[in-house]
Amino acid sequence: MKARPYLVALVLVVLVAGLLVVFRTPGGDPAQQQQRQDTSPQAAVEAGAGAGDPYYPADGNSGYDVRLYNLAITYDPGSQRLDGVATITATATDDLARFNLDLEGLDVSGVEVGGRPAKFAREGDHELVITPSAPVAKGGQFVTAVTYGGKPTTINDASLGRSGWQVSSTGGAFAAGQPHSATTWFPANDTPRDKAALKVAARVPDGWSVVSNGLEGEVTKDGGWSTFRWQEDTPLATYLVTVAIDRWEIVRSQLPGGTPVVDAYAPGTSAQKKPVQARLPEVLALLESKFGPYPQRAAGSIWVADQIGFSLETQTRPIYAAWADLETVVHENAHQWFGDSVTLRSWADICLNECLASYSQWLWAEHEGEDLDDRYRRELEQKRGSTRFWSPKLYDMGQGNEFRGVYDKGIFALHALRRQVGDDVFFPALRSWTAQHRDGNASWPQFEDHVAKASGQQLDGFFQAWFHDSGIPGDQYLLPGVLRR
């Protein structure tokens, strides 16, 4: 994700004012909250307590592993109503007497597990607790079908504005945001730890069209309605799932290696944004030279006409705000490696996504001729006395602080790391990292161990100063290698 610059400043204003970032909290009485915040695997299975992320303890469920979300939705832009059936194929990782899915606001009219009706109840802010007619045994595959509908909600976040399901200024709608967005339009195991394949069949009135993740499928028409189909077989985290409905102008092409590209432009955006998006093959070629082969089966873009507070790396096809530029395209496509293919394990690991994607913006500037060492030294002199710049931690920064520092201090930290270990270590380490963890999850401490092993250096002090501590690092870490003149 790349935040609009003025909203990065807004985060600081919000924090200084002592406001809390909006996040999910368990509902119910104190005893119930205490029970639900127990993040042990057994508690997650029995009480829907979550998947184990300490920042969002009520998110997800550790009792099963989703393999496929098969979503059939109907959306009417006129009434802004969405109706859907989510068919979810999963494998039980424990014996399940009951389990939960996350769903924001929408009404559920029926649930089946294994083709048989199941009991269900809503708990807290976002949990759909399901009790199948018979327990599911550990290791067993089971299929859950949830029928639901209503007017989707939007999540209002104090740091990045509106996310989740959003009605667009052009009359359509789109879903985007992190750490939460998917559950505003379908029930999900809403944790990055549970990545799954995706199928979407989205039915809209004729004249509207739908774009989602992955490969484009057949479009069918019936009775004044059109159904658009998309499929992403590469596992993806729920916050990287999107659906976007508008009167799109669609441009189809291919990358030099044959990877299909689908670009979607909302009304009024194509004249300005097509020249930017046309540089995607050049952008991906540079990123491949640094990070390894492009890890996705498709590529492209979704350009909305709205001044939302961020652009987002929705897998294979990023969503771009109206303000997005070429630097944003570089950032969101770097996420196809860092965040989408290799997904963080916990939100404390967000630097794995944002620091690396933000540094790709500097790599693009270097590609276009800029001397990054000169830039680093010049900007360092400007920022030496800035408490605001140096105070955020880049790892385990605390819930609500995930997006402080990673877009600016994170760039400096990675350039310093590059100079500490040298290019002959830094870039091969990035390529081996993306290869080893492709389509999986990883943590920031694992990344530190990976780079240290690749370099043969003792880097504990460096990582502590730059990523674990608050404040400006000492000069030995601030100006390593050729940065010290």
Does residue 8 register a pLDDT over 60? no
Compute the average pLDDT of residues 369-378.
98
Domain finish residue from 244, 262, 285:
244
Mean pLDDT of 416-445: 98
Mean pLDDT rounded to a whole number for the chain: 91
Q: 85 and 217 in one domain?
A: yes
Asked whether residue 306 is assigned to any structural domain, the reply reads no
**Which positions ≥6 away from 117 have C-beta within 8 Å?**
110, 111, 133
Domain-located, residue 295: no
Residue 18: predicted pLDDT: 37
> Domain boundary residue among 184, 214, 244?
244
Assess whether 237 and 354 both reside in one domain. Answer: no
Q: Which residues pair with 310 in a beta bridge?
A: 3
Share of the chain above pLDDT 90, in %: 84
Q: Is the pLDDT of residue 340 over 80?
A: yes
Rounded average pLDDT over 386-403: 94
Q: Are residues 58 and 185 both part of a single domain? A: yes
pLDDT in the model for residue 125: 83
- Asked if 19 and 168 sit in the same domain, the reply is yes
> What single letter denotes the amino acid at residue 390?
W
Q: Is residue 443 part of a domain?
A: yes
Average of pLDDT values for 108-122? 97
What's the CATH code of the domain at 459? 1.10.390.10
* Residues 33-79 pLDDT 10s: 333 333 333 343 444 458 899 999 989 999 999 999 999 999 999 99
Of 358, 362, 355, whose CA–CA distance to 395 is shortest? 355
The whole-number average pLDDT for the span 402-416 is 97
Q: Would you say residue 137 lies in a domain?
A: yes
Domain stop point among 244, 267, 291 = 244
The verdict on whether omega for the bond into residue 179 sits within 30 degrees of 0, i.e. cis, is yes
Residue 338 domain-assigned?
A: no
Identify whether 327 is part of a domain: no
Examine residue 333 and state whether it is found in any structural domain, yes or no. Answer: no
List the domain range (segments joined by +) for residue 427. 347-483
pLDDT at residue 32, rounded to an integer: 34
Arithmetic mean of pLDDT, 352-371: 98
Per-residue pLDDT, 33: 34
Give yes or no: residues 358 and 226 share one domain.
Answer: no
410 assigned to some structural domain: yes
Number of folded domains in the chain?
2
Residue 242 is predicted with a pLDDT of: 98
Residues 130 and 19 in one domain: yes
Can you give the pLDDT at residue 23? 35
67 and 195 in a single domain? The answer is yes
**Do 353 and 238 share a domain, yes or no?**
no
**Predicted pLDDT at 49:** 59
Predicted structure pTM score = 0.91
pLDDT tens-place string over residues 218-266: 999 999 999 999 999 999 999 999 999 999 999 999 999 999 999 999 9
Give φ, ψ of 391 to 5 degrees.
-70, -35
Q: For residue 165, what is the domain's CATH number? A: 2.60.40.1730
Q: Which pLDDT score is estimated for 157? A: 72
CA distance 66 to 421: 39
pLDDT at position 159 = 63
